[in-house]
Amino acid sequence: MVGGVRVEFEELAKRFDLRVVFRGVSGRAEPGSVLVITGPNGSGKSTLMTILCGLVRPTRGTIRYLRAGGGEVPRHAWREHLGIVAPAMGLYGELDAMENLRFFSTVRGLGFDEERCRALLREVGLDPDRTTPVAGFSTGMHQRLKIAQAVLHEPEVLFLDEPGSNLDPAGQDWLEGLVERQREGGTTVILATNDRREMEWGTEHVALPG
């Protein structure tokens, strides 16, 4: 990773028809830090995550991805710098774990490095030789594979939306270690959660009002 990417957002607002989800939300996530976004159910944490990663446009406000070495990353290129785990983002249920990683690795232009994918699957606690389609996975295994997919390309910005949900205690310990390693490696981690333990990993916090 060279330098890292800082994510800045100012006065963000999102409205669906007449319903205002949130407004006036600002924050900054630096490389090597963990920005934790908290808020009660329905406060718009997941919506904010989809806005910050560029999937949805805000009703108002600005978001900027700034390279540590200087210069702004254009919006169409954000996807090359980020990885994401979110409840509403699924993997391909008909494919097995390795086929999923192979697909995401190839469409990201990395080619297919089988050894790297095998090592990553072992790291998240999945058997690389298991050929069961992902649809047959438990929710915890599914979550582990989503995390493997998110870090596969060593992103500079990592979005984690309730990453510990469905993970067993050992999985949560492992997740904590992963977030720590990502942070130490200079990754900008943006974490949306209401879990007290995950909230403690944050170096900065943004609280959404209910």
Partner 1 sequence: MWRFLAEAGAVFVKDLRTEFRTRVALNALGLFAVTTLAAVSYTIGPYRIAEADRPFLLSALLWIVIFFASMAGLDRSFVKEEDTQTAPLLRLSASPLVVWAGKLAFNLALLAVLMAILVPLYGMLMGFRPVSLWGFAGILAAGGYTLAVTTTMVAAIIARAMTRGALFSVLSLPLLLPLLIFVIQGTRAAAEGSPEGVMEALRAVISLGGIMTILSVVLFPAVWHE
Chain residues that interact with partner 1, rule: CB under 8 A: 50, 53-55, 57, 79, 82, 84, 86, 88-95, 99, 102-104, 106-109, 111, 133, 149
Report in angstroms the alpha-carbon separations of 51 from 20, 25, 115, 173.
Answer: 15, 12, 34, 29
Complex with partner 1: residue 53 or 191, whichever CB lies closer = 53
Can you tell me the distance from the alpha carbon of 128 to that of 33, in angstroms, rounded to the nearest whole number?
A: 31
Least separation in angstroms between CB 159 and partner 1: 9
Least separation in angstroms between CB 53 and partner 1: 6
Can you tell me the distance from the alpha carbon of 26 to that of 43, in angstroms, rounded to the nearest whole number?
A: 15
Complex with partner 1: residue 47 or 202, whichever CB lies closer = 47
Please count the helices (runs of H) and the strands (runs of E) in the chain: 6, 9
Complex with partner 1: residue 53 or 117, whichever CB lies closer = 53
Can you tell me the distance from the alpha carbon of 54 to that of 84, in angstroms, rounded to the nearest whole number?
A: 11
DSSP assignments along 105-135, one per residue: HHHTT----HHHHHHHHHHTT--TT----GG
Encoded tokens for 35? 């920005």
Least separation in angstroms between CB 95 and partner 1: 6
Least separation in angstroms between CB 168 and partner 1: 23
Can you tell me the distance from the alpha carbon of 184 to that of 32, in angstroms, rounded to the nearest whole number?
A: 6
Complex with partner 1: residue 163 or 202, whichever CB lies closer = 163
Complex with partner 1: residue 93 or 185, whichever CB lies closer = 93
Report in angstroms the alpha-carbon separations of 72 from 27, 56, 75, 117.
Answer: 17, 19, 9, 31
Least separation in angstroms between CB 39 and partner 1: 21
Complex with partner 1: residue 99 or 204, whichever CB lies closer = 99
Least separation in angstroms between CB 79 and partner 1: 5
